[in-house]
Amino acid sequence: ELYLLDPEKYPISEFIQSSPVELEKMEKELRGIIGSCGPEVRSFLEKTFTGDLWVNFRDLPAAVSHHHAYVHGLLEHTLSVTKGALALGKTYKDSGVDIDMDIIAAGGLLHDLGKIESYRLDPFPSMTVPGTVIDHIALGYSLFSRLADEYGLDRGTADAIGHILISHHGRREYGSPVIPATPEAMVVSSADELDFIMFCWKTFPESGNGEPSISDFHPSAGRRFWRRKPPEEGGV
Task: Say yes or no: 236 and 140 in one domain.
Answer: no
In sequence order, which residues have a C-beta less than 8 Å from that of residue 26 and are 6 or more positions away?
19, 72, 75, 76, 79
Q: How many domains does the chain have?
A: 2
Task: Say yes or no: 36 and 76 in one domain.
Answer: yes
Task: Say yes or no: 154 and 225 in one domain.
Answer: no
User: How many residues in the chain?
Assistant: 236
The pTM (predicted TM-score) of the whole model is 0.85
Residue 236 domain boundaries: 211-236
CA separation for the pair 18, 11 (Å, rounded): 11
Q: Which pLDDT belongs to residue 160?
A: 99
Residue 127 included in any domain: yes
Task: Say yes or no: 24 and 134 in one domain.
Answer: yes
Mean pLDDT per 10-residue interval, the chain, length 236 residues: 52 64 94 98 98 94 76 94 98 98 99 92 82 92 98 98 96 89 98 92 69 79 83 62
CA separation for the pair 157, 145 (Å, rounded): 11
Q: Which pLDDT belongs to residue 163?
A: 98
CATH of the domain at 159: 1.10.3210
Q: Which pLDDT belongs to residue 23?
A: 92
Element of type H or E holding 125: strand 125-127
Task: Say yes or no: 235 and 144 in one domain.
Answer: no
Q: Which pLDDT belongs to residue 157?
A: 98
Task: Say yes or no: 121 and 219 in one domain.
Answer: no
Task: Say yes or no: 216 and 117 in one domain.
Answer: no
CA separation for the pair 49, 30 (Å, rounded): 10
Q: Which residues pair with 218 in a beta bridge?
A: 223
- Asked if 228 and 201 count as a contact pair (C-beta separation under 8 A), the reply is no
Instruction: Kindly report, residue by residue over 150-179, the tens digit of the pLDDT.
Output: 999 999 999 999 999 999 998 888 879 999
For 109-146, b where at least 16 C-beta lie within 10 A, e where not — what string? Answer: bbbbbbbbbbbbbeebbebbeebeeebbbbbbbbbbbe
Task: Say yes or no: 199 and 216 in one domain.
Answer: no
Task: Say yes or no: 199 and 219 in one domain.
Answer: no
Residue 84 included in any domain: yes
Q: Which pLDDT belongs to residue 88?
A: 98
Task: Say yes or no: 79 and 183 in one domain.
Answer: yes
In sequence order, which residues have a C-beta less than 8 Å from that of residue 207 and are 6 or more positions away?
214, 215, 216, 224
Residue 106 included in any domain: yes
Instruction: Kindly report, residue by residue over 97-136, the tens digit of the pLDDT.
Output: 999 999 999 999 999 999 999 888 876 788 889 988 998 9
